[in-house]
Structure formats: structure tokens, C-alpha cells
Amino acid sequence: MSHKWGLVVDLDRCTGCEACVVACHAENNVPTAGADQAARGRTMQWIRVERTWEGDFPNPKVRFQPVLCQQCDNAPCEPVCPTYASYHTPEGLNAQVYNRCIGTRFCANACPYTVRSFNFFDPKWEMPLQLQLNPDVSVRSVGVMEKCTFCTQRIKAAEIGAEAEKRELKDGEFTTACAQSCASKALIFGDLNNPDSEVARLASSNRSTKLLGELGTKPNVTYLERGTWQDAKNS
Amino acid sequence: MQKTAEQIEKDLLRPIFTSSAKYKIAVALAACLTLSGVCAFGYQLYNGIGVWGINSPVFWAFDITNFVFWIGISHAGTLISAILRLCNATWRRPVTRCAEAITVFSILIGGLVPLCHIGRPWLAYWMIPYPSERGIWPNFRSPLAWDFFAISTYLTGSTTFLYLPTIPDFAAVRDASKGLRKRIYRVLALGWQGTPRQWQRLEIAMHIMAIAIVPVAVSVHTIVSWDFSMTLVPMWHSTIFGPYFVIGAIFSGIAALILAMAMLRHFLHLEEYLKPLHFNNLGKLLLTMSLLWFYFTFAERLTTWYGNTPSEMDVFWQTIRLHFAPMFWTMVVCNFVIPMPLLAIKRFRTITGTAIASCTIIVGMWIERFLIIVPALDHKFLQYAWGSYKPTWVEDTLMASSFGMMALLYLLFSKFVPMISIWEMKVGLQPHGGGIITTRPAMVKPHGLVLEGPLPTDVPE
């Protein structure tokens, strides 16, 4: 049976520590734009933690929401790309083929989640950061769009390994960099086609919801949320 | 006073054989402006497109605004001239060529913009469907691929449409010149002798092109609008965009035509050819378009407001009341409030009046395209990812140079081609010269000599 990769984000568990963001930068060779460019809106991030709050100090009610590519089944970014750089893999991932990208940026405009990062300049890493680049992930050049791949290099490695050993992939055998680094286990990655997987169980929880689900993009990222705010002393 | 054929030929060929100091200065200025754009583009190529002000989430801004703007201007010519030809409007004669030239040059400029705006311009040819070593076709589902086909079709069609009725005039220049110029124009004139058979074929070809170019022109700007409406972006995803863009394009196109005609009239001393009548008639057309533009804008805004979708209302209020409100209301003033009295009241519908209205409309329609693109992008669904946009000097320079390039191409064109169709003006002298091209084309030779003898009978009606 083919796989259908999915991620669950448990908003009730997220502490907003942004370890996932750092892990993603390291795993996927995502360059840091720098303070200057970030101020101009050129942040390079494949996953971001959105902070929203209600009320003022001393009692703000803060919520954190990690947002990454939702790997939509019905992805608005795919049909608009004139060169098939943004395309749907047989396993249901939204792949971004960097070598095909000519940089029209149409996909980023079409994406309702604004999760695509564009290389406005050639990427740079300050010494000694370029020594830690992941050799399994290509570095993108200027003028190319990039985004979360669900750590496709890890998926491929695990699939190839399992095939070599002539066995099925086990749930939890591998995970994405963001999920691996999440201390509060707010991010859970796995195969939605495997009914016994943790991700499939959580995705069908009654707390589950989709980000902008009303748009009909059919995301493969599921958010879990109790929905009501509870003060620390009551919970 | 009615001009004779000889006078017409002399007047309209004059700009080709003489050029004033003023003309040379204008060409130099336009060339400098164009060159500044080339330098800015080189700077952008070297450093990366980050030298623009675009960012996440405003991935398109001045670039696509200018693209839509210039493709819109291109609707001046071919469409209007084709419709006027098909409607047999005899007053069109001095107008058509300057209109068709605007079309060709503004599509060229509009078509250049997307090539400059992509992240890796050196790979732009991947849009072309050719059996490549990469083993894939362009994605035919993408509106950008449609754009490529629409614009290249329109460019080919309108260039042909401009060239065909120019052939007899090229022959006129050929016959009036000598030396190298004669050799060049001999090639351009394609062996035109003005025989009845040639006139008949020209008439058939122009008739076919006039009919064919109308749906092409409409489809081009519809497809440009689909770049936006085929996405889910709030205020982009709209069924009204196709006709709204076509109307807006014709609107800005006529304004550009009136401005160009006013300048030609002044600088090339064509006062006796481009008369107040032409400005009056085009002014009426412009008035209709202004009303239609207002109707479409009103319909678009009202339905959004009643729909009251939160994501759309964010963009809606940004344009009407918040950050972009000064631009929005400037647009309404420029496109409707100022042109209305100038064009609706007969006393004001003069050359000056229509030219002023055209100026404000050009500004207003540029703002309209900007307001379609930028506020929607920087207020998409997720509030956390909202942004803002400010252009840099590179974008400003590229935009200024697009106007410079238009001026340069138009100035050079007026040097090499008679800006008013000589043979069509001569046909206008004929007592019955009012056909779609002309009912009796074979009577006129490029020199304006009327043939002796009976009329040819094989000219189709």
C-alpha cells in the first residue's frame, strides 16, 4: 500500500519554543535572511510559529500556531506553475523541483498559507555555518522558490532502507526534523494510510481541524485544538 | 479646404525626410530613459531580484502592475482600429495607424516585463513548448502558460495588422526616395505596384485580420485577468475580472491613443489631419468606457461588500478606508470624476479637454492595476503573514524606462513610417471612398494618380 504522509500539530501542546524552526533550518539548509532582510519581509522559513494573543499584560492569552506547508491534496500552488516546478508526487506530497523553477512566484501568491520562501538573493552562510550544511539536501540558488518538503530526504532514505531489507516501514521509524526536535511532542509525523499509526489516530481525533479548511485545499497537516482557553490554575 | 492627393503625400512623407532638432532631443531623452532601465536590469541580474521591493507575501507589485498596464494600453490600437474598420467609420482614416503602432510597441514592452520579473530570467525560454532535453512540456494548466500563448499570438497578429495597410505607404516612400533608403523600402514594400490584383488581395487580407484580431484582443486581456482570478486570493478570485480587465484595457488604450494623437498633431504639425472631430469622436468612446469602468468597479465592490467574507473584507477596507484609501480615491477621481465633465459636456470635449482626461485616466488606470495586485497580496488569509510593500529605485527606474522605451519606439516609428496612412487618406478623397478598406481601391496608385479608364470589376464588395 502506498504511503500518505501527514503531520499533526497539537496546538494544546505547543509551547512556542521554535525548536522546530531551528531544526528545520539545520536539516534543510534553509538560509537565514538576516535582520535587515527580515525587516523587509524576506524571512526564509519553512516552518514558522505564529503568535497571537488576546488581552493585555499582565493577563495576555497567548496562542502559538506552527504553520508549515500544508501539503494539500488539492494544492492551489500546483496548477499555476508554468514549468511544473510545483508538482504533486504519487505519494501525495507537494514537491518543489528547484531545477525547474524559473521564479515566477505565482505559487507563492496562490498559496493561501503564505508558507513559500523565495530566494531573493543567493544564499549565504556565515563561517562556520556553511560547514554544517546537510549533504542530503540541495542548496537553492537565487531566484528559486522553496518550501517545506516534509523532509523528503528522510522519507526517501527510510523507504529505500526498508525496501533493501524487504520489509514494511514501521510507524515512528523515522520522523521529520521539526517533529524530532519538538520537546512537548506537539508535532507528530507519520503515514495516514496506516490506520495503526499515531498520526492517523490523532488526525481522526475530535479535536482535529484543518487550517483554512473551508478553502477546500485538503491539507495533510491536521491541527488539534481544544478550542477554548483555560487558565493554568483551572487546568 | 480639401487637400489634393499630392499635398497629402507631401505632408505625410515630410517627417520621414526631415527631422527637427526638437525631434532629435526627444529621441535622445527617450533613449537615455530606456538605457537607464537596461542598467537597472543589469544591476538586478547581477545582484538578484532582491534589489526590488517585493517581499513575502507581496511577491508581485510594480512588475505585474506594469505588465497589466502595458498590455492594457495595447488595446488602444488593434481592437479600436479593427472595430472602426469593420463598422466602416470613415473618420477613422487618420487614426488607425497611430493606434496600431501603440498596440505593437506596448505589447512588446508588456511582454518584456514578465521576462525581467522572474527570478531566473535566463531560463525564461522554458515557457516555450519545444521538445526539450528536460523532457517536459510547459504546464498548460497554468495561466502564465496561457499568457505566453495569448501575448505571442496578439503580438504576431497586431504586427501583421499594422504591416498590411502600411505596404502601399512603404511603396510611396520607396518611390519618393533614392539610395540606401530606396533599397530598404523596396524590401519593406514587398514589390507593391498598386495593381488591381494587389489591392484586391490587400483588401481581403485586411478584412480577415480585422475580424480575427477582435477575439484575440479580447482573449488576451481576459487571460491576463485570469492570472489573478484563477487563484484563491481574496478579491482576486472573481468572475467579473475577465470583462472588467477588457473594459479597463480599452479604456486606458483609448486614453493613450488620444494622448499620442495630440502629441503627433503638435510635433509633426498634422493639424489638418488630426482634427477636433477625431478627438471629439474618440472622446465619446472614452466617455462610454469611463462609464463602463465605473459600473464594473461599483459592481465588484458592492458584491464584495454584500458577500461580507472576512478575508475579502480585509482587502476591501484596506483599499476603501485604510492604507490604500488615498490611492483608491485618487483612482476614482482620475478615472471618473475628472473625465466625466470633460468628456460629457460638448464644450469641454476639445483636443485639450480630451487630452487632460486621457492623462488622468492613464494615471488612474495604472493605480487601478496596482490596487488589484498589492492590497490583495499583502492581506491574504493568515493575519500573521500580512505584509507591506514599498518599491525601490530599481523598480522605479524600470517603470520609468518602460515609458521611455514606448516613447523611443514610437518616435523612431514616426521617422520610418508615415504615421497617417497616406493611401487611405487619398481614398477618402474619392467620392465613393467609404468601403471597409475602400470600395474602389484600384483607382489609387501609391503616387495618388488616378488611373484612367473603366473601374475594375473584380473588386469584392
What digits encode the pLDDT tens for the residues B125-152?
999 999 988 889 999 999 999 999 999 9
* Residues on chain A touching B50 (C-beta within 8 angstroms): 37, 42, 120-121, 142
Q: Residue B381's closest chain A neighbor by CA?
A: A112
Which of A76, A82, A113 is the closest to B145 by Cβ? A82
Residue in chain A lying closest to B63 (CA): A104
3-state secondary structure at position B171:
helix
Q: Is the pLDDT of residue B417 over 70?
A: yes
What is the distance in angstroms between the Cα of A108 and the nearest Cα belonging to chain B? 7
Question: Which residues of chain B lie closer than 8 angstroms to A122, CB-CB?
Answer: 48
| Higher local confidence (pLDDT), B37 or B19 | B37
Residue A40 with chain B: CB contacts under 8 Å: 53, 55
Predicted pLDDT of residue B105: 95
Q: What is the DSSP string of chain A?
A: ----EEEEEETTT-----HHHHHHHHHHTPPP--HHHHHTT----SEEEEEEEES-TTS-EEEEEEEE----TT-THHHH-TTSSEEE-TTS-EEE-GGG-----HHHHH-TT---EE-SS-----TTGGGG--TTSPPP-TT-EE---SSHHHHHHHHHHHHHTT-PPPTTSS--HHHHH-TT--EEEEETT-TTSHHHHHHTSTTEE-TTGGG----SEEEE---S---TTT-
Question: Which cell numbers hold the place of B324?
Answer: 490604500
* B60–A109 C-beta distance less than 8 A: yes
ipTM of the complex, rounded to two decimals: 0.92
- Structural domain including B124 reads 5-128+138-282+390-443
Tens of pLDDT, residues A190-203: 999 999 999 999 99
Number of structural domains (chain B) is 1
Residue B436 has pLDDT above 70, yes or no: no
Report the first-to-last Cα separation within chain A, whole angstroms: 42
Q: How close is the nearest chain B Cα to the Cα of A136, in Å?
A: 23
Distance from CA of A41 to the nearest CA of B (A): 5
List of chain B residues whose C-beta atoms are within 8 Å of the C-beta of residue A79: 139, 141-142, 230
Cβ contacts (< 8 Å) between A80 and chain B: which residues?
Answer: 141-144, 230-231
Whether B452 has a pLDDT exceeding 50, the answer reads: no
Residue partners of B441: CB distance under 8 A and separation at least 6: B199, B200, B202, B203, B427, B435, B459
Comparing alpha-carbon positions, the chain A residue that sits nearest to B49 is A120
Quick one: how many helices (H) and strands (E) in chain B? 17, 0
For residue A29, the distance in angstroms to the closest alpha carbon of chain B comes to 19
Amino acid at A62: V
Q: What proportions of chain B, in percent to the nearest 5, are helix, strand and coil?
A: 70, 0, 30
- Bridge partners of residue A96, in order along the sequence: A86
Least-confidence region, from B28-32, B228-232, B454-458:
B454-458
Closest by Cβ to B139, choosing from A50, A81, A108: A81
**A51 with B145: Cβ contact below 8 A:** no
Weakest-pLDDT range from A70-79, B114-123, B319-328, B419-428: B419-428
Mean pLDDT of chain A: 92
The confidence score (pLDDT) of residue B134 equals 85
The string of pLDDT tens digits covering residues A9-58 is 999 999 999 999 999 999 999 998 889 999 999 999 999 999 988 888 88
Q: Is the pLDDT of residue B453 over 80?
A: no
Under an 8 A CB cutoff, do B59 and A109 touch? yes
Question: Which residues of B make CB contacts under 8 Å with A?
Answer: 47-50, 53-60, 114, 117-120, 123-124, 126-127, 134, 136, 138-139, 141-145, 148, 227, 230-233, 377, 380-385, 387-388
Nearest to B136 among A51, A65, A84 (CB): A84
Distance CA B158, CA B384 (A): 46
- The predicted pLDDT at position B89 comes to 86
Decide which of 3.30.70.20, 3.90.1170.50, 3.40.50.1110, 1.10.10.920 is the CATH code for A5-224: 3.30.70.20
Residues present in chain B in total? 461
Q: Report which of A9, A146, A155, A168 is spatially closest to residue A90, judged by C-alpha positions.
A: A155
Q: Give the mean pLDDT of B169-174.
A: 93
- Overall average pLDDT of the B262-290 stretch: 91
pLDDT level of residue B447 (50, 70, 90 thresholds): very low
With a cut of 80, say whether residue B441 has pLDDT above it.
no
CA distance linking residue B444 with residue B431, whole number of Å: 13
Under the banding of pLDDT at 50, 70 and 90, the label for residue B437 is very low
d(CA B93, CA B100): 12
Q: What is the DSSP string of B56-75?
A: SS---SHHHHHHHHHHHHTT
Low-confidence ranges of chain A (pLDDT < 50): 235
**Worst-scoring range by mean pLDDT, A179-193, A201-215, B78-92, B273-287?**
B78-92
Q: Give me chain B's average pLDDT, please.
A: 90
Residues 6+ apart with CB under 8 A from B144: A80, A82, A104, A106, B114, B127, B227
Per-residue pLDDT tens digits for B220-232 = 999 999 999 999 9
Chain B residues in contact with A95 (beta carbon < 8 A): none
Judged by CB atoms closer than 8 Å, whether chains meet at A80 and B230 is answered as: yes
Give the chain A residue whose CA is nearest to the CA of B144.
Answer: A82
